[in-house]
Structure 1
Amino acid sequence: MRLNSERVYIRRMENEDLEALLDLRLRNRHFFKPFQPITLDSHYTVEGQQEILEKIYHDWNSGSGYGFGIFLTNDDRLIGRVNLSNVARGAWESCTLGYFIDENCNGQGFASEAVHLAIGFAFGPAELHRVQAAVMPRNAGSTRVLEKVGFRYEGFSEFYLKINGVWEDHNLYSITRERWNS
């Protein structure tokens, strides 16, 4: 499955993406550091990225998550990831959204396009009702991505996630099927 916008497309990560994924993570190690949990050195190895791909396969097969690579349409280069994680079914029909984009592609609207595609998948084939996201208040770029796609601010959560070794406050956002304008 490949979901397309004008400049990017998203698709499930595959084994063929292993080297590109490792390269993306290595090149952006310091850029991503302030926004992610502490990662072990083993994360930045072929084996570490293979574990991530295996988790993506497992989550897709179980319906508990959907991990996509973000690729440039013009040259098929992997520039990031967007994930629908923690899928809960039943009365909630919801998930959490996460994403990252290569530093060299940051601030150009690629993340917004990819998130838009992922939300279309969430409310289409995945048959979800709600997608939520959390962003540190100082991460203005990520806040812009969510707002451009139509997420609504829901509130402030103190000490929400442990990021780079520190419990960080986050602003919470969500979008529901009723508010989605595909």
Structure 2
Amino acid sequence: MLLDLRMRNRDFFQPFEPIRDDLHFTLEGQKVEIANSLREAAEDKAYVYGVFAVETDELVGRIALTGIARGPAQHANMGYFIDQRHNGKGYATESVSLCVRKAFEELGLHRVQAGVMPMNGRSMRVLEKAGFRQEGLAQRYIRINGVWEDHVLFAMTVEELRGLKS
């Protein structure tokens, strides 16, 4: 399922992702990615979740909490993608909201942050609708599609989530 999703969206996702070798787009490559995800979850370093269409139970995306820092920091980075055919249907906003609640209420994190390239207005809107605040611009932040891209940084803390619930 994940391999099909990645293959179907390879060209659509490429402007927003690092350059990946051809192995990434094979069953073996996806097995390695899943094994790494399971190891990182067992080590409390990252958690990866599937996004499924409620109506059909089809895998339509993925959302992840990565780079988890414990100790005094208690934060994680969030990243997500949704199948091009399912963009604009609310899956990303709902997934971000659920993942943030899981991060705060079950994983005990204090802060979740996300970076979005300025050209990706739809993703910025997802974060804003989910209650994230914009913090600033990180210049040449992540190498995406072979280029060091600026990212607009967004974040939410557990206190802000509690404020949204009131």
TM-score range, shorter chain: over 0.9
SS in 2 for 1:124: helix
Question: Match of 1:107, as an amino acid?
Answer: G
1:39 aligned residue (8, 17, 20): 20
Say yes or no: does 1:74 pair with 2:55: yes
The C-alpha deviation readout for 1:74-106, integer Å capped at 9, x for no partner, is 111000000000000010000000000000001
Q: Distance in 2 between matches of 1:36 and 1:96?
A: 15
Tell me the residue number matched to 2:146. 165
2:137 corresponds to which residue? 156
Deviant stretches of 4+, over 4 Å: none
* SS class of match (1:37): coil
SS at match of 2:106: coil
Deviation readout 1:101-145 (Å, 9 max, x if unpaired): 000001121100011110010001110000000000110010001
1:42-121 paired onto structure 2 within 5 Å: 42-121=23-102
Task: Give the Cα separation in 1 of the matches to 2:38 and 2:149.
Answer: 30
Flag structure 1 segments of 5+ consecutive residues without an equivalent: 1-19
Q: Deviations over 1:32-55 (max 9, x none)?
A: 000000000110000010011111
Taking the aligned partners of 2:67 and 2:153, their CA distance within structure 1 comes to: 16
Alpha-carbon distance in 2 for matches of 1:30, 1:72 = 22
Q: Using the alignment, how far apart are the partners of 1:46 and 1:90 within structure 2? A: 36
Q: 1:28 Cα deviation (Å)?
A: 0.1
* Distance of 1:135 and 1:144 partners within structure 2: 10
Unaligned runs of 5+ in 2: none
Backbone CA RMSD of aligned residues:
0.7
Which amino acid in the other structure matches residue 88 of structure 2? G
TM superposition score normalised by structure 1: 0.88
TM-score under structure 2 normalisation?
0.97
Instruction: State how 1:132-143 maps to structure 2 within 5 Å.
Output: 132-143=113-124
- Between the aligned partners of 1:156 and 1:74, the Cα distance in structure 2 is 38
Q: Distance in 1 between matches of 2:47 and 2:124?
A: 22
- Cα distance in 2 for partners of 1:61, 1:73 equals 28
SS of the residue corresponding to residue 19 of structure 2 reads coil
Shift of 1:154: 0.4
- Could you tell me which residue of structure 2 aligns to residue 30 of structure 1? 11
Could you tell me which amino acid in structure 2 is paired with residue 102 of structure 1? D
